Chain A
Amino acid sequence: MFNDALTTSKQHSARRVAWRVAAVGTALALTLTGCSSGGGDNSSGNGSKNVKVDEVRLGTILPLTGSTAQNGNNSLHGIELAVEQINAAGGIKSMGGAKIKLSTADATSDAAKAASAATQFLSKGEPPLAIVGAYASGLTITVARVTERAKVPLLSTGFADELTHQGYKYFFQLPPASSLMGAAQFNYAIDIAKDAGKSIDKVAIVYANNAYGESQAKALKAQADKAGKTVVLNEGYSPNITDAGPIVSKIVASKPDAIYSIAYVPDSVLLMRALKAQGSDVPIFGGTGGYITPDFVKALGDQVNDVFSITTSNPDGYGDIGAAYLKKYGEFMPQEAHDNAAAVYVFAQALEEHPTTDSTDLAKYLHEGKFDQGAAASMPGGFVDFDETGVNVNAKPVMVQWQNKSLIGVWPADIVKGKPVWPGQ
């Protein structure tokens, strides 16, 4: 069909160029994932030890660019909204009405860059009193090392278990750890099926093979073995897939009673579309990530109905801050926005009850207090309570379901109002 004479004059250099192009192309693909744009930091010379201050500095490090940028930006919206609300209500009253001054750094979606962003953030000007971040577990792991060394409390919504297994004294995890989330995702699904008169015996587990996906999948597998269920498929995939067809073929071929999926937005949408195209009607239990985002419903419309997901807080219980978020951003408050807002409320309440300008002192009080103000009150159980390892002992996973294109908390019955609907009934 083609005469293909485009290269005949270049035969001699073809191999050299081919190698060079291959090398540069590969290097590009590997290094350019998420180009940092840096965060806007303002350093004010406020080094007073007096507890009556004009402002308290709160930092946030989030993935604002790259593959998890959207979750990072949602988180930032939640944090900004919480800061706005607290400042509008008079700031930290016990510290003379000190206002929270927020500064932001971009962790990108790359763990190595996240650590250097954190280092830069903490070495520049006066360090913040505490930091909220860094959304993704993979990023939080590297950021936590930096904040621990700098002795600055890191209030995190990362799930990974290992975060609280390091003996860190300045790390605080608001949501339940991955292992709890995985176990709940598995067991709640079994309970919901039983409640609907169904049974789940064969399960398929598919996950994005990053820190978050792998640790949660491991928990699911362990739970399945414990419950004596057959895992007919246990498959990881690159979070950068551009086509979910092959994975979905494997899912369909394995004929499961339920699909457990750990995915971010792009892969969750690709999976859902491919499942529909291959005619699957197997119930899907997502593991937070993409399954509970506004983009998920925007991309899929009615197709989201009946899909379940485990999450860290009940989206139809977000109250005032949820309503304020909807008004300001025109979409429902995502889980990561809420939980990060809760972290800001924890920070503010800790200072309110224990005025200090010393990070170590603040960390000590964060371990001692119980926090139930604002968004912290809409975390499961109604308050946040950290033990000495930084685990929120009060955290409890919630199963939500898309019903009429809204996220409704459906399990366990003692902390939610909604009722689960078994797909196809």
Chain B
Amino acid sequence: MDILNHVAQSVANGLLIGSVYALISVGLTLIFGVMNIVNFAHGEFLMVGMFGAYFASTAFGLDPLWIAPLIGIAGFLLGALVERTIIEPIIKAPQSAQIIATVGLGIILANGAAAIFGNNFLSVKTPYQGETFSLFGLHFAATFVYAAAYAVVMAVLLALFLNKTRFGKAMRATAQNRGAAQLLGIDPKRMYMVAFGLGVALVTLAGSVILPYTLVYPFIGQQYVLIMFTVVVLGGLGSIRGAIIAGLVVGVIQSLSTLLLPSELQNLPVFIVFFIALVLISGGVLSRVRNASVKLKRS
């Protein structure tokens, strides 16, 4: 019984942290899916969101959870601006040029933050930081529950946007076939700007949402970047549903592995799964399922 309880608690913790992983990664996969560009500065945009939330919340005395939507909007504008000034000129450039551009952007953001804010560890204090919810004998830290709730809401909103709105459909059309979409009157440049803006909005909002349980410093993006890429590649590059599922899977594997393995090896099983997925399954776990369903529709 005790062991069962431990396993259940670990799965629950894994799902909570996993939904956060999904939220921080989904923008990366969205940008790739629409634009075919890998944004290596994604971790640094998370850091920018965290700093934004920190300063906004200390200046106005508001909880980062309340500020998150505003940070998301600011993140959207920042993303759109970055797309127009940095990404647009290299959208047709060789992939190596795109990598250098986004990697360089990440370095500039991190070191810029260090130069402006200093190398300090900053964090906010919220009344629920020490609180826990109990359900069926399991315990959930309030900060993680709120972050996970945000992740679920954002996933639903993103799904509604992509599937139900004209703009979302146009964005998917651009992703599928830029030329055909353009012939039908969709402006791909506008789509790219919005897609990049949305990707950055999602990750900056995530930064605000996770701030209550962690702390921010200029180089924190690097702590998350490996998880982001694992989630995105495991889920299949460009697949939003894949990133969400992979986020949860990574969270649960990490959490369960600590039951058996020392904490320092918590990423080992994740990377073993990651490696197997890369070797065995082309383009991520979900592509098999997707290929099957595509065939099904055509027949």
Contacts and interface: CB of A to CB of B under 8 A. Distances in A.
Chains A and B belong together in one complex = yes
Given A6-B239, A269-B215, A236 B264 contact: yes
A242 B119 contact: no
B102 to A, nearest CB: 10
Dominant secondary structure of chain B at its interface with chain A: helix
Contacts of B290: 4, 7-8
B264 A37 contact: no
Interface residues of A, number: 68
A65 B219 contact: yes
Contact of B13 (A1, A32, A65, A246): A246
Q: Which of A14, A238, A247, A301 gathers most chain B CB within 10 Å?
A: A14
A265 B129 CA distance: 17
A165 interface: no
| Most A C-beta atoms less than 10 A away, residue of B29, B103, B110, B214 | B214
A242 B207 CA distance: 12
Interface string A54-89: 000000000011110110110000000000000000
A29 B141 contact: no
A353 interface: no
Contact of B284 (A14, A32, A64): A14
Contacts of A238: 263-264, 266-267
B204 interface: no
Interface string B256-289: 0010001110110000001000100011101100
Contacts of A278: 132, 139, 141
A273 B212 CA distance: 10
Interface stretch (A16-24, A153-161, A183-191, A389-397): A16-24
Among A34, A246, A301, chain B packs the most CB atoms within 10 A around the CB of: A246
Given A15-B283, A22-B278, A8 B176 contact: yes
Contacts, number: 218
Contacts of B103: 28
A253 to B, nearest CB: 7
Contacts of B111: 35, 37, 65
B40 A24 contact: yes
A242 B224 contact: yes
Does more than half of chain A's interface fall in helix, strand or loop, or is it mixed? Answer: helix
A76 B17 CA distance: 37
B294 interface: yes
B176 A245 contact: no
Given A3-B172, A22-B278, A28 B225 contact: yes
Given A6-B240, A70-B217, A249-B13, A15 B282 contact: yes
B187 interface: no
Interface string B173-187: 001110000000000
Given A15-B283, A28-B103, A238-B266, 7 more contacts: A3-B172, A20-B95, A29-B225, A243-B17, A247-B258, A273-B130, A295-B120
Interface of B: 6, 9-10, 13, 17, 29-30, 33-34, 36, 38, 40, 95, 99, 103, 106-107, 110-111, 114, 118-123, 125, 129-132, 139, 141-144, 155-156, 159, 162-163, 172, 175-177, 213-215, 217, 219, 222-229, 232-233, 236-242, 254-255, 258, 262-264, 266-267, 274, 278, 282-284, 286-287, 290-291, 294
